[in-house]
Amino acid sequence: MSNIVVQKYGGTSVGSVERIKNVAKRIIKKKESGHQILVVVSAMGKSTDDLVKLAYDISPTPPKREMDRLLSTGEQVSISLLSMALQSMGYDAISFTGPQVGIRTSGRHTKSRIEGIDTTKILEALHEDKIVIVAGFQGVNENDDVTTLGRGGSDTSAVALACVLDATCEIYTDVEGIYGVDPRLYDKAKKLDTVSYEEMLEMASLGAGVMHPRAIELASKYNTKIVVASSEFDVPGTIINKGGNHMEGQSITGLAIDNDELMITIRDIPFDLNITSQFFSQFANKSINIDMISQGAPVKGLINISFTAPVQDLADARKILNCFEEKYPGIGVIINENVSKLSVVGVGMRSQSGVAAKFFQLLTDNNIQILMITTSEIRISCVIKTTDRDIAVTATAKAFDL
């Protein structure tokens, strides 16, 4: 493990001049404790949202290469301001954009993936005792065009940098750590001291919000320790590592709600693997992440398939579905946007039986209709109506002591 600490500050933490100055003070405190510091920052406050709005005011379908260029400016603003703040406090600092520091990406614009990082410039600057500030959320592709990493991209940037630098990654955010349930959904939610990559990965994938699953995946691959903590208060956060929290009797560590998915059902598809695989590859070609899939047994040679997909891909999804309907006029398509995905996660599920039964009974007791179910070894997810969400969260959190 190197002496380098990677700190990541989100948009809220650098949302104003005052906050940027506070972040600078926190960085200096860490630096003074004897560490080499690399800081990854997001765009200020809601500035990315403002840019997205501008783009859609110009065009209903803004081209993605230009969208990436537009969105990548937000982080360029925050890195330069943070560097100015540190330098005005007497500390040597230097900012780099993603392209500049060699964060090479592949894949489509607005959804790129990190291929590799060239650490030369970073190590050089750290060696010169500078505080290095890197723009999160962005990289550069093989055409020398700036790319963005999609949702949670700044976390991914920070963890990727921590991985290649063999550093600890501190994620500073507007919550005090990882909670078993989102405190905005359940105000008695408990903060976790530690959580395993595995559990966090499931929770993040499920829209627990605090961290993007890609970041956790990366950290897990390189065994990089992540600390999630408040950017405002000096209280211990949550450590994400290999071990995690294996308390006896704790069958479920966390609960997650995802409101950003829609449920699509296609009825009466001819039961032919070629057709279904062709269909799903069209979604894959458009980089639409299909998540839960359920398929019933064929009836008279026809099957029904339900699956969930991100709400923001609705337009693209609809196009694919329309083509599909034209090609197979017999099928029926139902898109349900008013759904939420409720998931419970815990490595304890492996050793304890009856967790699923308890969970389903709980929902049934509260008159909550389950529209779809999928499970993994350490997770149970179900799609419910958004109107049932709050009752379901409170009941589950109480029953499993989250």
CA angle 65, 310, 330 (to 5 degrees): 110
Cβ nearer to its own copies, comparing 17 with 293: 17
C-alpha to C-alpha distance for 98 and 312, rounded to whole angstroms:
25
Min dist. Cβ of residue 22 to its own copies (A) = 12
Considering only the stretches 28-36, 71-79, 278-286, 313-321, report the one whose residues sit in contact with its own copies under the rule CB under 8 A.
71-79
Cβ nearer to its own copies, comparing 100 with 276: 100
- For position 290 contacting its own copies by CB under 8 A, the verdict is no
Cβ contacts of residue 65 below 8 Å, gap of 6+? 109, 145
Min dist. Cβ of residue 167 to its own copies (A) = 24
Q: Are 292 and 383 in contact (CB under 8 A)?
A: yes
- For position 126 contacting its own copies by CB under 8 A, the verdict is no
Q: Torsions phi, psi of 228, nearest 5?
A: -105, 125
Rounded to 5, what percent of the chain is helix, strand, coil?
A: 40, 25, 35
C-alpha to C-alpha distance for 107 and 135, rounded to whole angstroms:
19
Min dist. Cβ of residue 57 to its own copies (A) = 4
Alpha-carbon distances, residue 145 vs 58, 67, 72, 188 (angstroms): 21, 11, 11, 46
- For position 145 contacting its own copies by CB under 8 A, the verdict is yes
Question: Which one of residues 79, 218, 303, 383 is an interface residue with its own copies (CB under 8 A)?
Answer: 79
Give residue 198's Cα distance to chain centre: 14
Helix/strand/coil for 385? strand
Cβ nearer to its own copies, comparing 8 with 19: 19
- For position 247 contacting its own copies by CB under 8 A, the verdict is no
Min dist. Cβ of residue 99 to its own copies (A) = 9
Question: Which one of residues 36, 97, 105, 231 is an interface residue with its own copies (CB under 8 A)?
Answer: 97
- For position 76 contacting its own copies by CB under 8 A, the verdict is yes
- For position 129 contacting its own copies by CB under 8 A, the verdict is no
- For position 17 contacting its own copies by CB under 8 A, the verdict is yes
C-alpha to C-alpha distance for 51 and 127, rounded to whole angstroms:
36
- For position 94 contacting its own copies by CB under 8 A, the verdict is yes
- For position 65 contacting its own copies by CB under 8 A, the verdict is yes
- For position 205 contacting its own copies by CB under 8 A, the verdict is no
Considering only the stretches 81-89, 185-193, 302-310, 367-375, report the one whose residues sit in contact with its own copies under the rule CB under 8 A.
81-89
Closest to 10 in 3D by CA, of 157, 224, 140, 124: 157
At 336, which helix (H) or strand (E)? strand 332-336
Cβ neighbour number for residue 143 with a 10 Å cutoff = 9
Q: Which residues are annotated as a binding site for substrate?
A: 48, 75
Q: Per the structure block, which two tokens stand in for 7?
A: 């700190």
- For position 128 contacting its own copies by CB under 8 A, the verdict is no
Helix/strand/coil for 389? helix
Min dist. Cβ of residue 83 to its own copies (A) = 5
Closest to 89 in 3D by CA, of 128, 131, 125, 43: 131
Question: Which one of residues 12, 13, 36, 83 is an interface residue with its own copies (CB under 8 A)?
Answer: 83
C-alpha to C-alpha distance for 39 and 136, rounded to whole angstroms:
9
Query: Can you spell out the DSSP letters for 351-381?
Result: T-SSHHHHHHHHHHHTTPPP-EEEEETTEEE
Q: Which residues are annotated as a binding site for ATP?
A: 8-11, 173-174, 179, 184
Min dist. Cβ of residue 39 to its own copies (A) = 14
User: How many residues at the interface with its own copies, by CB under 8 A?
Assistant: 36
- For position 391 contacting its own copies by CB under 8 A, the verdict is no
Query: Can you spell out the DSSP letters for 101-127?
Result: TTEEEESSTTS-EEEEE--HHHHHHHH
Q: Which residues are annotated as a binding site?
A: 8-11, 48, 75, 173-174, 179, 184
Q: Are 82 and 23 in contact (CB under 8 A)?
A: yes
Site for its own copies in 42-61 (CB under 8 A): 51, 54-55, 57-61
Question: Which one of residues 80, 119, 287, 352 is an interface residue with its own copies (CB under 8 A)?
Answer: 80
- For position 338 contacting its own copies by CB under 8 A, the verdict is no
Min dist. Cβ of residue 174 to its own copies (A) = 21
Residues found in the chain = 402
Residue numbers at the binding site for its own copies (CB under 8 A): 17, 20-21, 51, 54-55, 57-63, 65-67, 69-70, 72-73, 76-77, 79-81, 83-85, 87-88, 94-95, 97, 100, 144-145
